[in-house]
């Protein structure tokens, strides 16, 4: 009886992850030998006409008792300005290839209505269109990234949209823009030539799409002060042939970037993805395995791009990424509303570390999606607002935007579940214009704190401070009733030991350090 009791006690202590008894160790080496900048656009966002992302998220009813400009919700704007989102992708997603831009200009009462066939079959009233989106970007102080319609649109339609946005001539379409309230050109530069052309954007072959890209791009004209950065619709996940064909068949001078879409599906199966809030440790581990596949995807797609573009002139743009779970019970399944747990924050930190570490090729990305859809930064319910754990990761990581990338090597313990192993810790580092070093570390192990000793080669520093994001359980979430259950805290687990940095990462945590 006594032996059984001791066994149960040991098991209980193991699950708690006692810092004293079970702390593990690892080492990291950070070098100052780099000429690469972490492009701020890696920290971009995505807003599609889907569920309550636009309507009820950014664009709210006139009667809602919150501060607004027109119908743009300003507490949302201020929250996103705080984390310095650099770009916003719109209007989709799958919606982009059924969207006709002329439906979204002119007097709102006269705009035609349409059925959103991709997302819930709801009526789209087009009250949020081109001018409203660009006003939103102006308020956010971010770059607009427009996805043009290749699937159901025409070359002329896309060409005229660009002229409407960017020309300073006296053409009829420019006069129409002025009549609609904006005499000056918008000077939009990021331009997606279709979306997911392998799937909802037209079910094309890569060979057909490459020819379509060249055709559409030929008539997507540059205007004064607005040289287009044309982004090709790239591969789905591990479709390496798509990348090969596009890089081989599309001239580099026509293409600013090639997109990549990959979602972390907890189960790895589209039919039953798994719950956002209720999952076992085994399910959590498998989710992290699927998240870490991003490293493999970026590496292999980059290697193909290197064959055709060794100077890395064409950017890899991961403009849809994030965790995708089953919708919350009781919600419209076509609206893709899911809660956001500490697990999702660990996914965000890990993925952003991967992008930072591949910043020689990855120049832009977009989390899917900003508000109320998939792995959101913000959740809203009428006048209520919640900042998710993922939001706090972007707040922590904004220090890496446009900073010098510092190469990093890790020797860290494994996190093992059911006989399978992954590296327990991942990290990235940068140096900002003021000379400050920032190191972001993620401990995926839900039981064990891990002490990391860091060698900083040719880097002088004297003091360290930091922030940490963690919680008692990886299933914890912020809710409208308890919006600050998971929040940023000052981190005191790092110290200087001679010329080395020693940091103890709590279990299941994200930490960003600043070295002065």
The predicted model gives 224-240 an average pLDDT of: 98
Half-sphere exposure of 494 (CA within 13 A, CB side): 25
pLDDT at position 17 over 70 = no
Has residue 297 got a pLDDT over 80? yes
Query: What is the rounded CA–CA span in Å between residue 186 and residue 483?
Result: 37
Q: What is the pLDDT of residues 106-133, one digit of tens each?
A: 999 999 999 999 999 999 999 999 999 9
Please spell the DSSP secondary structure of 430-453, one letter per residue: EE-TTS-EEEEEEE--SS--EEEE
Confidence at residue 457, expressed as pLDDT on a 0 to 100 scale: 79
pLDDT digits (tens, 9 = 90+) for 328-338: 999 999 999 99
- Exposure letters 373-390 (e unless 16+ CB within 10 A, then b): bbbbbbbbeeeebbbbbb
- Ranges 176-185, 242-251, 454-463: which has the least confidence: 454-463
Kindly state the percentage of the chain with pLDDT values over 90. 94
224 — phi, psi (to 5°)? Answer: -50, 125
Residue 228 CA to chain centroid, in angstroms? 22
> Where is average pLDDT lowest: 6-15, 141-150, 430-439, 455-464?
6-15
* pLDDT tens for each residue of 444-498: 999 999 999 998 978 889 999 999 999 999 999 999 999 999 999 999 999 999 8
Q: Give the pLDDT of residue 129.
A: 98
Q: Which domains does the chain have, with CATH numbers?
A: 17-34+407-515 (2.60.40.1180), 40-401 (3.20.20.80)
Cα–Cα distance measured from residue 372 to residue 57, given in angstroms and rounded to the nearest whole number? 7
Separation CA 333–CA 373 (nearest Å): 11
Q: What is the pLDDT of residue 489?
A: 98
Which tokens sit at 447? 């039981």
pLDDT for position 311: 97
Taking CA atoms, 251 is separated from 66, 139, 145, 194, 343, in Å, by 49, 36, 22, 17, 41
Q: What is the pLDDT of residue 11?
A: 37
Q: Count the Cβ atoms, other than its own, within 10 Å of residue 313.
A: 12
pLDDT at residue 19, as a whole number: 39
Which residues are identified as catalytic?
A: 196, 320
Output the CA–CA distances (angstroms, integers) from residue 40 to 113, 352, 401, 427, in the order listed: 36, 11, 4, 18
Are 318 and 89 a contacting pair, CB within 8 Å? no
> CA nearest 326: which of 312, 339, 307, 310?
339
Query: What is the spatial distance between Cα 280 and Cα 387, in angstroms, rounded to a whole number?
Result: 25
- Asked whether the bond before 318 is cis by omega within 30 degrees of 0, the reply is no
Query: Among residues 378, 386, 335, 443, which one has the least CA distance to residue 23?
Result: 443
Residues 126/150, Cβ–Cβ less than 8 Å: no
- pLDDT tens sequence across 132-171: 999 999 999 999 999 999 999 999 999 999 999 999 999 9
**Residue with tokens 């809660």, as numbered in its chain:** 339
Query: Residue 12: its pLDDT value, please?
Result: 35
Residue 18, pLDDT above cutoff 90 = no
**What is the pLDDT at residue 459?**
87
Looking at the predicted structure, is the pLDDT value of residue 21 above 70? no
In the numeric block, the tokens 């327990």 are attached to: 424
pLDDT at 16 over 90: no
Residue 384 scores a pLDDT above 60: yes
* Beta-bridge mates of residue 477: 341
User: What is the structure's pLDDT at 458?
Assistant: 83
186-196 confidence digits (pLDDT tens): 999 999 999 99
Dist. CA 87–CA 42, nearest whole Å: 9
What is the distance between the alpha carbons of residues 152 and 145, in angstroms, rounded to a whole number?
Answer: 19
Q: How many CB atoms lie within 10 A of CB 113?
A: 10
pLDDT tops 90 at residue 268: yes
The whole-angstrom separation of Cα 429 and Cα 353 is 8
Kindly report the pTM of this predicted structure. Answer: 0.94
In b/e form, how buried is each residue of 206-241, taking b as 16+ CB within 10 angstroms? beebbebbbebbeebeebeebebbbbbbbbbeebee
Q: With 60 as the cut, is the pLDDT of residue 320 above it?
A: yes
Q: What is the pLDDT of residues 37-80, one digit of tens each?
A: 999 999 999 999 999 999 999 999 999 999 999 999 999 999 99
């Amino acid at each position: 009886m006594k032996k059984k009791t001791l066994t149960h006690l040991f098991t209980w202590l193991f699950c708690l992850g006692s810092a004293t008894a079970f702390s593990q160790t690892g080492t990291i080496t950070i070098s100052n030998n780099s000429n690469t900048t972490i492009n701020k656009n890696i920290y971009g966002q995505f807003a599609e006409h889907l569920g309550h992302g636009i309507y009820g998220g950014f664009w709210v009813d006139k009667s809602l008792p919150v501060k607004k400009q027109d119908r743009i919700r300003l507490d949302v704007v201020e929250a996103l300005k705080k984390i310095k989102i650099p770009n916003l992708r719109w209007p989709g997603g799958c919606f982009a290839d059924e969207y006709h831009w002329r439906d979204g200009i002119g007097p709102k009462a006269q705009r035609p209505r349409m059925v959103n066939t991709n997302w819930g079959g709801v009526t789209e009233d087009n009250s949020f269109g081109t001018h409203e989106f660009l006003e939103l970007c102006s308020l956010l102080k971010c770059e607009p990234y427009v996805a043009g319609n290749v699937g159901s649109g025409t070359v002329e339609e896309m060409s005229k949209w660009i002229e409407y946005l960017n020309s300073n001539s006296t053409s009829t379409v420019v006069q129409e823009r002025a009549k609609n309230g904006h005499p000056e050109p918008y000077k939009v530069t990021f331009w997606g030539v279709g979306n997911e052309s392998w799937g909802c954007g037209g079910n094309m072959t890569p060979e057909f799409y490459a020819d379509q890209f060249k055709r559409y791009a030929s008539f997507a004209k540059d205007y004064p002060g607005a040289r287009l950065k044309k982004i090709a619709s790239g591969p789905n996940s591990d479709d390496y042939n798509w990348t090969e064909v596009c890089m081989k068949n599309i001239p580099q001078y026509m293409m600013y970037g090639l997109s990549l879409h990959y979602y972390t599906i907890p189960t790895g199966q589209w039919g039953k993805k798994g719950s956002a809030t209720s999952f076992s440790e085994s399910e959590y581990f498998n989710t992290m395995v699927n998240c870490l596949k991003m490293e493999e995807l970026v590496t292999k797609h980059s290697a193909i791009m290197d064959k055709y573009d060794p100077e890395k002139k064409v950017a890899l743009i991961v403009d849809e990424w994030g965790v995708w779970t089953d919708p919350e019970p009781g919600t419209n399944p076509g609206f893709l509303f899911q809660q956001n747990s500490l697990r999702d924050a660990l996914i965000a930190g890990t993925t952003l570390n991967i992008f930072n570490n591949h910043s020689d090729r990855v120049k832009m990305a977009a989390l899917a999606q900003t508000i109320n859809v998939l792995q959101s930064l913000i959740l809203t319910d009428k006048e209520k607002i919640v900042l998710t754990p993922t939001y706090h990761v972007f707040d922590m990581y904004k220090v890496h935007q446009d900073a010098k990338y510092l190469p990093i090597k890790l020797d860290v313990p494994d996190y093992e579940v059911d006989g399978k192993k992954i590296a327990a810790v991942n990290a990235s580092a940068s140096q900002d214009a003021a000379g400050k070093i920032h190191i972001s570390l993620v401990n995926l192990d839900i039981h064990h704190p891990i002490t990391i000793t860091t060698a900083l080669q040719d880097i002088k520093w004297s003091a360290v401070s930091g922030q940490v994001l963690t919680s008692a359980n990886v299933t914890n979430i912020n809710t409208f009733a308890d919006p600050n259950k998971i929040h940023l805290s000052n981190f005191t687990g790092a110290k200087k030991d001679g010329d080395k940095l020693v940091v103890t990462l709590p279990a299941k945590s994200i930490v960003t350090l600043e070295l002065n």
